[in-house]
Structure 1
Amino acid sequence: MELLFWISLSGVFYAYLGYPLLLLALTRRAEATIAKPAAERGYAPTVSLIIPVYNGGDVIQQKIANCLALDYPHDRLEVIIVSDGSTDATAALVNQELRPPLRFYELPVRGGKAKALNHGLARASGEVIVFSDVAIRLDRAALQNIVEKFYDPTIGCVSGEDRIAGASGEGLYGRYELFLRHLESRFFSIVGASGSFYAQRRSLCEPFREGAAPDFLSVLHTVEQGFRAISEPSAFGTMTAVRGTADEFNRKVRTLIRGMTALFSKPGLLSLRRYGRFALSLLSHKLMRWLVPFFLLLALGSNLALLDSPFYRLLLALQVVFYLLAAGAAVSYLPLGRTTAGKIALYFTTVNLAILVAWFKYLRGTRQELWSPSRR
């Protein structure tokens, strides 16, 4: 039982701390094997910016204004907005703003994010396809900065960065994820792009599969075709945090089911023999992370069988205090939710509970295609 406890605890440690430390140790040597052609400032291929939207009437005009203000030549840019069967004023509001480089397509029946993206992709003419959510506000230079990375012929996909306003658990976790992406870009390739803002070579784009996370699938397909996917810190946008823990939990479950669907549609990429560094990152960043709630349950259960030792009683007490802190932070009228410790405990617990729910639903055959954008 003692061995099971330490194996479980080691699994949690590796997923969140051990893997970043391993990347730090390996990155310098790995970087020496990656060719880096000189960047060409001002490199401006033709770009198709695709924005899927469902009932985005409260934000679509701000998004259009943001796109039109980007520092990128309008004669090299087309902005394709696809409404996925919206039932609010989205279409009317977009039609009020229509002018070059904007193009608008309205799907009469809601079919899901993959269908909306594929509709836009089939009509895109750019050499580089940029995907962006309606909720993110891009920095003026974000488009130019993300596109310039394609001057390197080994790069097939580039992720922008989401900067989440406020110090919520989502924001803290987001900064941790960005730190990992920076390391993975230097090591070889990121394993997942920002679904809110990322770009891919048109020649590498394939129709999206229903129920699979588009951003994750794009990275997997890019590496499968022999290219790298990287993160670009200077290509960023800002978002507000998700409103409420319930919204965040539901969003996370949907995202996880779609991520599992994407990964298990391409299981060969987990082969260390064939994909080396990328497979190591994929196993560590995704699969090990998705196993953390099982490690946590095993650690708690095995700890209960070791209470004859004062040391293990202390470890059990620390676990219980952590989960009580998360529970206290979830109660809106208690001050714990405003402390950094409370935010971290709540977000960590929420994420891992969401992973458990996602596994349960995925293994029962649930696939998540229709999406309701998180309210921010």
Structure 2
Amino acid sequence: MEDIIFLIFWVSVGMVVYAYVGYPACLMGLSLFRKSGRVETDSKGWELPRVSFIITAYNEEKQIAEKLQRTLSQDYPQEKLEIIVASDCSTDKTDIIVEGFGRGRIKLVRAPERRGKEFAQKYAIEIAKGDILIFSDVATSLDVQGLRTIIQNFKDPSIGCVSSEDRFIDAEGNISGEGIYVKYEMFLRKLESQVNSLVGLSGSFFAARRSVCCHNWATDLPSDFNTLLNTIRSNMKGVIDPATIGYYKNITDEKKEFNRKVRTVLRGISVFMRNFSLLNPWRYGLFSWQLFSHKLCRWMVPFFLIIIMFTNILLVQRTGYLFLLLIQGGFYSISLFWYILRDTAWAKEGHKMISWVKIPFFFISVNSAIALAWWKYAMGDRATFWEPSKR
């Protein structure tokens, strides 16, 4: 029996290590032999396509005018740029502002009832005339060349969707130090693009071919993840474009940030469960391994952590296992230490060790959010309704 517990312990440890270190290491190894991602093609004979820029909004009266002005200022042929605001039944002045903006340059589509972000986007897609559809949140800012840059990727006919790279900005609009998790995620997406395809898009700003969006558009699933999976089913791939930066502000309220993580994972699990067939490697090849590694393995980490702690306690009489248990206890204690002191003057002064103290806390916070998302999914919650995070 003890040998079985021993095996379970080390398999669980191995799965946690694989989820965060092993998978990117495998991608790095594959990148030495496989090169995918953006293909530089001759611009001759390729014209900029018609683009429909879809902005989804719910009660954004404070930010919508600025977003529309920034979008109109994009360096893209105006005759080829269609701007549509998809209102998810806003109850403030958002719709009124949109209707009076841009002298008819902006189209407003209001969903007949509030059923979530993707439901509103569906109505925008139905009237969109562009060959390429851009999806953006109100809070996301772009460089003036952002639209033209992301569109260049579609010279490659094998690319069905493109994600921007996420970048944090502070309250004054200056670029701030990204969190370790965001840096890690962007690094992982770049590796995936080099090897084969992304496994997820940035929900705040991404582009897709019209053909990808007009089939199997689910109104109850997150459009970023579902669009990527639709792209794979269409025998195309998704890539990240590091030259296209989507700027957005930090959520300063940690409780809201935690709830956002729970909602994001819950919606992602819903997509995954409805597309389980994509794990078939005989049909979807390398992408099946990527989907398993990037999504499922990461989402199973909370359960492996519980198993590791429990089996470690059972094995504590073995040589070395008391030390491993103390390491775990120390890790969780550091997390608790930061949770208690994060609002103190010491924490806010920005001591050098703070960034290291934050790592255990953030790791536990993320995996707690994942565990809660699984619980909500088991209880039947699907987080269909959407409300933008106030930043």
- With the length of structure 1 as denominator, give the TM-score of the two structures: 0.94
2:22 aligned residue: 18
Q: In structure 2, give the amino acid aligned to 1:195.
A: G
1:323 alignment partner AA: Y
Matched, 1:203 2:211: yes
Q: Partners of 1:223 and 1:266 in 2: how far apart?
A: 11
State the SS of the aligned residue for 2:110: strand
Q: Which letter maps to 2:27?
A: L
Q: Secondary structure at the match of 1:99?
A: helix
CA deviation digits over 1:79-101, x for unaligned, max 9?
10111111122123223323353
- In the alignment, the residues of structure 1 paired with residue 335 and residue 167 of structure 2 have an alpha-carbon distance, to the nearest angstrom, of 24
**Cα separation, 1, equivalents of 2:77 and 2:99:** 22
Q: Is the 8 A contact 2:99 2:107 kept in 1?
A: no
Partner of 1:244: 253
- Taking the TM superposition and a 5 Å limit, the aligned residue runs for 1:120-131 are 120-131=124-135
In structure 2, the partner of 1:83 is: 87
User: 1:333 maps to which residue?
Assistant: 343
The equivalences for 1:158-237 within 5 A come to 158-165=162-169, 171-205=179-213, 206=215, 208-237=217-246
Q: Deviations over 1:108-162 (max 9, x none)?
A: 5322111111011111000000101111101111111111111111111111111
8 A Cα contact 1:39 1:149, kept in partner: no
Q: Distance in 2 between matches of 1:6 and 1:217?
A: 34
**Match of residue 144 from structure 2:** 140
Task: Decide which of 104, 112, 115 is 1:111's aligned counterpart.
Answer: 115
Number of the residue aligned with 1:365: 380
Alignment pair present for 1:348 and 2:341: no
Q: CA deviation at 1:345?
A: 2.0
CA deviation string 1:320-348 (max 9, x = no partner): 22222222323342345752123322221
Structure 1 residue 39: deviation in Å? 4.9
Separation (CA, whole Å) in 1 of partners of 2:58 and 2:385: 10
Cα distance in 1 for residues equivalent to 2:264 and 2:42 = 34
Moved more, 87-96 or 227-236: 87-96
CA contact (8 A) 1:325 1:336 kept: no
For 1:316 and 1:220, how far apart are their aligned partners in 2? 40
User: Which of 63, 69, 85 is equivalent to 1:65?
Assistant: 69
Contact 1:160 1:233 in 2 (8 A): yes
Counterpart code for 2:276: P
Q: Distance in 2 between matches of 1:192 and 1:217?
A: 9
Question: CA, structure 1 residues 336+293, in 2 after alignment: closer, same or farther (shift >3 Å)?
Answer: farther
CA contact (8 A) 2:74 2:145 kept: yes
The one-letter amino acid paired with 1:147 is I
Task: Work out the CA distance in 1 between the residues paired with 2:381 and 2:368.
Answer: 17
Deviation of the 1:57 alpha carbon: 1.5
AA of the residue aligned to 1:31: K
1:200 deviation in Å? 0.6
Q: Distance in 2 between matches of 1:370 and 1:39?
A: 43
Out of 51, 54, 59, the residue aligned to residue 55 of structure 1 is 59
Q: Structure 2: 5+ residue runs without aligned partners? A: none
Instruction: Give the whole-Å Cα distance in 1 for the aligned partners of 2:38 and 2:191.
Output: 16
Residue number in structure 2 paired with 1:40: 43
Instruction: Tell me which moved more, 357-366 or 146-155.
Output: 357-366
Counting aligned pairs with the same residue, the percent is 39
> Quick one: which of 308, 319, 333 aligns to 2:328?
319
1:361 is displaced (CA, Å) by 1.4
Distance 1:28 1:208 in 2: 36
Q: How far did residue 164 of structure 1 move?
A: 1.4
Which residue identity is paired with 1:239? Answer: Y
Native 8 Å contact 2:164 2:202 kept in 1: yes
Which segment drifts farther, 315-324 or 231-240? 315-324
Aligned partner of 2:51: which letter?
A: V
Which amino acid letter does the alignment assign opposite residue 248 of structure 1?
Answer: E
> Quick one: structure 1 residues 276 and 4, their matched pair in 2 at CA, closer, same or farther if it must change by over 3 Å?
same
Amino acid of the residue matched to residue 118 of structure 2? A
The answer to whether the 8 A contact 1:257-1:358 is kept is: yes
The TM-score with structure 2 as length reference comes to 0.90
Give the counterpart letter for 1:345 in structure 2. P
Gaps (5+ residues) in structure 1? none
Among 266, 272, 282, which residue is 1:257 paired with? 266
